[in-house]
Structure 1
Amino acid sequence: MRTLGLPIDIDPGKALLDEIHWTAGHVAWLREKVQELPDEEMVWGKTLHRAGVGPEGPVDVSDHKAAPNVWYELYMKERDHLAKVCALALKAGIEERKVKLAESQGALVAEAIRRILAALNLTPAQQAMVPEIVPQQLRLLAGGV
């Protein structure tokens, strides 16, 4: 039996960040759809099409009207949702928590490197190379220059 969804045990901060990522993807996809529209279809288009056989015989009728295209309306609603979830994340201090987490992870890595270097009993010449080599390798690992 299909259901809309089953409960998932998740951290609220992670759930909020996941929602931001999904919503940003939706906005980008909808933006592409809107950009593909011919200019005249942004505010004018078919709203209803009836085709087939009715009581009076064959029917093939379309109604047109001036109104924002449905793709544009969806795009604008999703943009609004993205702004709201981003504001919630900022209010909840998500970015601050990410920075603190990165700092604590950095401290753990630095401590591990210190212990490894101490256990290796490096020569004075090798110890002199540590301040250049270790930061260089960490920057490469982080995707920096």
Structure 2
Amino acid sequence: MSSIRVRYGCIRDLDDIREVETLSFGDESYPRDLLSYLLMEGNTLIVEYNGRVVGYISYICLGSKAHILSIAIHPGYRRMGLGGTLLREAIDDMKRLGIRKVLLEVRVDNDAAIRLYSKAGFKIHSILKGYYNGRDGYLMVMDIR
């Protein structure tokens, strides 16, 4: 039987998160120092599958707004609902923190991520021309009730 667990990340997760980040984003990956900072700030949730770190989501909170900086699932564990589970847990966490609006950016050609975010309640707010190394992105926004 498979075991899925979502928990807050800690600094000992850094190497696992870095691996997922690199496999997911390649040359566009966040640097190790930034991932370390996000872990220490406490706004990173980890998803484990059978005890292995296979994904994470990091966000920052500014007043009543939150900005999702990154969400990634190890390529070998995609299409299992783990991204949706992680996103729902993060949104629940944001609600507890009094967040009312959540923002994120996504490449316009990342159909799977756009579907995930739309299903969770995000709406496309605007196009970000050349945001991803010359490629366009969307700014997506969700109001939390």
TM-score range normalised by the length of the shorter chain: under 0.3
- TM-score when normalising by structure 2: 0.24
Structure-1-length-normalised TM-score:
0.24
Report which of the two has the higher share of helix: 1
Higher Rg of the two aligned structures: 1
Structure with the higher fraction of residues in strand conformation:
2
